Amino acid sequence: RVLSLELNKDRDVERLHGSGINTLDIEPVEGRYMLSGGSDGVIVLYDLENLSRKPNYTCKALCSVGRNHPDVHRFSVETVQWYPHDTGMFTSSSFDKTLKIWDTNTLQPADVFHFEGTVYSHHMSPVATKHCLIAVGTKSPKVKLCDLKSGSCSHILQGHRQEVLAVSWSPRHEYVLATASADSRVKLWDVRRASGCLSTLDQHNGEKSKASSEAANTAHNGRVNGLCYTSDGLYLLTIGTDDRMRLWNSSTGENTLVNYGKVCNESRKGVKFTISYGCNPEFAFLPCGSTIAVYTIFTGELVTMLRGHYNTVDCCVFQPNFQ
């Protein structure tokens, strides 16, 4: 099914955004509602379900936080995410240095977290039952963990040297977090540990730097601006401004050395890419200019380019229910 993906001729999405769309998220409960965040601060909520049962239909926008909403983000929304356990709540973060927790029914913010710098990325664990921490990557090298229960920033993870462009919780271990930074490094953390950092991924698997310390380990030769775990959490895919994509064994931290060739990466901020769910083998979907490049993640083969947009693609999301 994935190999024959093409632009849908009978489904469309109502157009409410007047400027670029940076981020999308489909809720994991029913796979029915989708959020989008725009570069003008607007957030839109769509119903993807075809209730009319007609073959041709448009996914309706149910509601939006528009420019005239009193609590709209002042600048570009970089990440939107549904609360993983129910659709009554969602989160958004923005270049206006805030992370907002929204009540879906009233479209009012239940909480707002403020940061010193631009917020590039945030993520809530899809599997956590024992904590309610939101990981936040900002212009600061410190990774912030905001606790939904207490409404405050509970921990800070220190170790990166430059801004943190992407964060992602493991879908397998609820206390494990991956972070990617402009300092060329990807770090894995156990947020229960005082020292925090479990490992810093090394593209050379220790070959080059036997003499030097872990501090020298780099994942890419450039800014690392994208992270994505496979759905089972066993592997982590990273991309960097060195036009490379790397697949890592997430338990050993080893670079699997899959060669994807030159991978298009024109983004100066975080890249929102995704991996298929429940396919064999799994595929990575990566925005590339005005197309989406589709790679087989374990062989590195560029399978196809999905065409249809007329301008730069900023993000993509995979609907697992229908692949």
pLDDT tens sequence across 212-228:
566 689 999 999 999 99
pTM score of the predicted model:
0.95
Q: What six digits make up the tokens of 320?
A: 């697992």
Query: CA of 252: how far to CAs of 118, 156, 199, 235, 248, in Å?
Result: 32, 24, 9, 10, 8
Report yes or no on 34 lying in a domain: yes
Token representation of residue 106: 């009233």
Give strand pairing partners of 197.
189
Give the distance from CA 180 to its chain's centroid: 11
**Is residue 319 a part of any domain in this protein?**
no
Instruction: Identify the domain containing residue 139 by its residue range.
Output: 2-307
Amino acid occupying residue 185: R
Residue 28 belongs to a domain: yes
Report pLDDT digits (tens) over 258-276: 999 999 887 878 899 999 9
Alpha carbons 304 and 5: distance in angstroms, whole number: 9
- Mean pLDDT for the chain? 94
Backbone torsions φ then ψ of 188, nearest 5 degrees: -110, 135
Higher-confidence residue: 153 or 312? 312
Q: Which of 46, 40, 49 is nearest to 19 (CA)?
A: 40
The per-residue pLDDT for 213 is 60
Label residues 135-158 b or e (16+ Cβ within 10 Å = b).
Answer: bbbbbbbbbbbbebeeeebbbebe
Query: How many Å apart are CA 282 and CA 15, to the nearest integer?
Result: 31
Q: What is the pLDDT of residue 206?
A: 87
Could you tell me the CATH number of the domain that includes residue 230?
A: 2.130.10.10
- Whether residue 322 lies inside any domain: the answer is no
**Alpha-carbon span 13 to 200, nearest angstrom:** 41
Specify if 204 maps to a domain.
yes
Mean pLDDT of 36-53: 94
CA dihedral 254, 255, 256, 259 (to 10 degrees): 180
Give the pLDDT band (50/70/90) at residue 280.
Answer: confident
Mean pLDDT of 304-322: 93
Q: Read off the pLDDT of each residue in 68-75 and give the average, rounded to a whole number.
A: 97
At residue 21, what is the residue type?
Answer: I
Residue 156 lies in a domain: yes
Residue 317 inside a domain? The answer is no
Provide the number of structural domains found in the chain. 1
Query: Phi, psi at residue 49, to the nearest 5°?
Result: -70, 140
Q: Please report whether residue 47 resides in a domain.
A: yes
